[in-house]
Amino acid sequence: MDALHRCIPSGNAASKAISEAEAALEKAGAKEARVTKAREGFGDLAFPCFALAKEKGKTPQDVAEELAKKIKLPRFFSEAQAQAGFVNFVFSDAFYEEALSGIAAGFGKGTSRKGDVICIDYSSPNVGKPLHIGHIRSTVLGDAIKRLLEFQGAAVVGSNYLCDAGKQTAMLMTALKHFGAKDIKTENDLLEYYVRIHKEIENSPELVEEARRTLEKMENGEKDVAALLKKVRTISVAPIHAAYKRLGVSFDEELYDSDLVDDAKKMASEAVGKDVAKKEAEGETVVILEPALPNFVVLRSNGTTLYSTRDLALADYRFKKHHFKESVYVTASEQNLHFKQVFETLRRMGRAYSLKHIGFGLIFLQGMKKLSTREGKVLLLDEVLDECVAAARKEVEGREHAANAAKTAEEIGLGSLKFAVLRVTPEKNIVFDPKAVTAFEGFTGAYVQYTVVRTNGIMGKAGKMTAVAPKNAKFDEHERAIISALASFPQVCEESARNMQPHVLCDYLLTVASKFSAFYANCPVLQADGKEREKRLAIVRATKTVLEQGLSLLGIKAPEKM
């Protein structure tokens, strides 16, 4: 749960403190001293004396005591004590003052991926079908990872790979022709034909043959099919774009896999030429990956490409265009094997790309079963978003002037849904309940948003003030707890970006929000006077800065009021 316990404190003040402690230890006789985070309840930083004790033939506790006695305490520490073979350091008020004053706009930004070009493929839905609940994870996860990497200085290319080349599209197009569709205007019209053909094709060899021919025509770019495909694209992509707009998700590049068919065919011939793939007796072109992985078909016997072939071409396309350092794909874990096969085939073809696949589990609305688009039973993305917003509206109502209630509910509903998705490690399935995820209490995005709103309220009431920690302030335990949590924000951002794990940041924000609550319950802010008031207001402001920045890295807005 608590990212803070895994790491050593970070931020400017912390790195200064760490150097101070290490220098003091070295002066006292510990060569190349490296401090770590102290165990809970044993101060803040610790120096383990075990290696040194072995070298000197003494007990670790004796060494710790000798060092503790000799150490000249630097400014950022109030104590250095020998305990169970460690020298444990306790931060001084000067440390908290420095840490607090370092938290201003831009705090937390890192340089760990400075200049790296990283492609991220996310959302990437199939054309011809409306977005449904299953699209939430890729869309929201990819967007957050992009933001996290950019905060570390990377040049990220967010890429939406719209799939309109496969069998499913061919079936839809066949349906439109076969059933004589005329007035198709919306994605629901398309869905109707999609469902109809899936029902009828089972008992109709004629339809199967027609769909096969349509696919061939699509691959050969025949005019009438191309025109129809264009129409399908237009109808289908407009609502997809509207959903991204509503969610606040954007892309730097958008491509269609049907545009990669020619390149995909070239990839397949290259693979054959390099003996990476071969044409089988049944006529399919296959990459033999057995026994390590199942074999990988790259061309059907009639020469048409597959999802697999187009992904080979896509990797090349992106590399030629962006010269990426790393290319990442965010999809359901049902595609884990597919990406292993793609990556291995590319490797055998001599592409030394750094490729990564992030697979995630299923997502359900509480009480819902796995639904099938083929049967027309879809839980549309928009319906899910509406449910979350409606749940948020119930929470908001009565608290807020009616004028803003709709906007606030939208921010809380969508923000909380994003948070609920991002908080879970990707491998796990998610079952969520709109009412629970938008509640103002609990491990929710709404709770973090609500905390930001509280800080806004306090700042607003405080009126004129500097909110700068006064010189030589003293800090009590609640103040110290919230400041150390805030100070580790840069480290959490770095870790979260390094592992591409937004959930680490989610956990952290919940920790900060709860430490803030404890601080606010124990340390009156507006009722305090003079320096005490300024110092506490500085803490409130720093909390607002960190929480707002953290939420924005997850693509979540905090409302002004609620």
- Given the rule CB under 6 A, which residues bind ligand ARG? 121, 124-126, 161, 163, 311, 314, 329, 331
Measured from the CB atom, the residue of 125 and 445 that comes closer to ligand ARG is 125
As a whole number of angstroms, the distance between CA 166 and CA 150 comes to 33
Measured from the CB atom, the residue of 132 and 480 that comes closer to ligand ARG is 132
SS3 258: helix
Phi–psi pair at 291, nearest 5 degrees: -90, -10
Measured from the CB atom, the residue of 61 and 333 that comes closer to ligand ARG is 333
The answer to whether 289 and 344 have CB atoms below 8 angstroms apart is: yes
Measured from the CB atom, the residue of 161 and 360 that comes closer to ligand ARG is 161
Classify residue 514 by its DSSP letter: H
Measured from the CB atom, the residue of 26 and 334 that comes closer to ligand ARG is 334
Minimum CB–partner distance for residue 113 and ligand ARG (Å): 22
Measured from the CB atom, the residue of 47 and 329 that comes closer to ligand ARG is 329
Element of type H or E holding 167: helix 167-178
Measured from the CB atom, the residue of 161 and 193 that comes closer to ligand ARG is 161
Any residues with CB less than 8 A from the CB of 473 and at least 6 apart, and which? 93, 96, 97, 531, 535
Minimum CB–partner distance for residue 126 and ligand ARG (Å): 5
SS3 508: helix
Minimum CB–partner distance for residue 163 and ligand ARG (Å): 4
Phi–psi pair at 331, nearest 5 degrees: -145, 175
Minimum CB–partner distance for residue 202 and ligand ARG (Å): 22
Using alpha carbons, list the distances in angstroms from residue 559 to 185, 445, 474, 526, 544.
36, 12, 33, 22, 12
Measured from the CB atom, the residue of 10 and 124 that comes closer to ligand ARG is 124
As a whole number of angstroms, the distance between CA 378 and CA 372 comes to 6
Using alpha carbons, list the distances in angstroms from residue 444 to 205, 207, 259, 353, 451.
52, 49, 41, 38, 11
Minimum CB–partner distance for residue 370 and ligand ARG (Å): 15
| Residue the block writes with tokens 């920045």 | 549
The answer to whether 387 and 357 have CB atoms below 8 angstroms apart is: no
Minimum CB–partner distance for residue 140 and ligand ARG (Å): 15
Minimum CB–partner distance for residue 338 and ligand ARG (Å): 7
Measured from the CB atom, the residue of 37 and 318 that comes closer to ligand ARG is 318
Minimum CB–partner distance for residue 332 and ligand ARG (Å): 7
Minimum CB–partner distance for residue 318 and ligand ARG (Å): 9
Phi–psi pair at 120, nearest 5 degrees: -125, 125
Phi–psi pair at 51, nearest 5 degrees: -65, -45
Residue 265, both tokens: 């065919």
As a whole number of angstroms, the distance between CA 170 and CA 188 comes to 17
The answer to whether 21 and 79 have CB atoms below 8 angstroms apart is: no
